[in-house]
Amino acid sequence: MNDNDAKPLQDLHAANSEFPFPDLNGPLCLGIAVAEIDGKVVGFGFIRLTSEVALIVDKSLPRSERANVIQELHELGRQEAQEAGLDEWHAFVYPELYAKFLEKRFGFVRCHGVAMTEVFNGKKGT
């Protein structure tokens, strides 16, 4: 996508979204769809690869040991994700205590909006 094609998308995005404008030419962008009315861009969507991180830790461990386990898993997972070409990952966190830990220890930031999943091919969602 060249700069001329991207300009109307960037303008629409700036007026209607709080999120940073995505790299639509990057290798993680799989596709773009644009909706127009009378030649004016009124909507667009894109499919972008990302990853979900899941950590399951024995909650019977002392707090300091759980923190060490999460630290180790985070380092290994981040390295693997970056080697795979990913530039971010998403965590769906429960309980709230873990969210605060991820923010403080690793710099995770809270997302705006509601996390949602659409499941394809009749598989059950998580």
Is-contact 16 43, C-beta < 8 A?
no
What proportion of the chain, given as a percentage, has pLDDT over 70? 97
What pTM did the predictor assign? 0.73
Q: CA of 114: how far to CAs of 62, 94, 110, 117, in Å?
A: 32, 14, 11, 10
pLDDT of residue 125 exceeding 70, the answer is no
Q: Read off the pLDDT of residues 17-62 as tens digits, 9 standing for 90 and up.
A: 988 899 999 999 999 999 999 999 999 999 999 899 888 899 999 9
pLDDT at 65: 97
